[in-house]
Amino acid sequence: MKDYVCEPLGNHHDRTQFDCGVSVLNDYLAKYAKQDVKRKASAVFVLVKRAEPKRVIGFYTLCATSVDLAELPEEVTRKLPRYPEIPAILVGRLARDVTYPNAGSLLLSDAITRCVRVASEIAASLIVVDSKGEAATCFYEKFGLSRYRNYLIGCFFQCRRQRNFECSRSI
């Protein structure tokens, strides 16, 4: 990833050229991402080439959330506190430009690394991914995330088990 950097979305990033093939995600980046950052609704991080720091190759969003303890599988809840809601970090959106098919793994790696780094400071026990569709869910499962039972958000895993998560894929 030495030729790429993941950084907070800034005014200098060109969001208009980004195309992931999903109009809702393209529109989000172009029209709403800066508003979400400004309103503290979510943090938006973009992947750019060091040589082309304005061109957005991909992005993801992070925000705080909680998960209903009763909705989690027993093998997970055994190691969690017995509160009705468990603090978590939500990866709400993750998309990569169609011209960079392997950038998704770099984005996910950065998102997970960032979540694990701050989880001890903000006391999050889980990382939750709002998976959009079966193809996206399969992508996340390749990286060790598991599906919820009877829960709307698709995938999760415990931060403690992912401290050494590293993505070996490259663009």
What pLDDT is attached to residue 32?
97
Residue 106 near residue 170 (C-beta atoms within 8 A): yes
CATH for 4-162? 3.40.630.30
What pLDDT is attached to residue 153?
41
User: What does the domain layout of the chain look like in residue ranges?
Assistant: 4-162
Closest to 67 in 3D by CA, of 53, 52, 54, 83: 83
What pLDDT is attached to residue 141?
80
Instruction: State the Cα–Cα distance between residues 140 and 161, nearest whole angstrom.
Output: 16
Structure tokens at 125: 């026990």
What pLDDT is attached to residue 51?
95
Tally of CA atoms within 13 A in the half-sphere of 80 that contains its CB: 27
Instruction: State the Cα–Cα distance between residues 32 and 95, nearest whole angstrom.
Output: 15
What is the DSSP track for 86-155? EEEEEEEEEEE-TT-TTHHHHHHHHHHHHHHHHHHHHT--EEEE---SHHHHHHHHHTT-EEPSS-SS-E
Q: What is the pTM of this model?
A: 0.87
What pLDDT is attached to residue 30?
97
Q: What is the pLDDT tens value at each position of the chain, 171 positions in all? A: 689 999 999 999 999 999 999 999 999 999 999 999 999 999 999 999 999 999 999 999 999 999 888 888 787 788 788 899 988 899 989 999 999 998 999 999 999 889 888 887 888 888 888 887 788 888 888 877 777 653 334 445 555 555 445 444 444
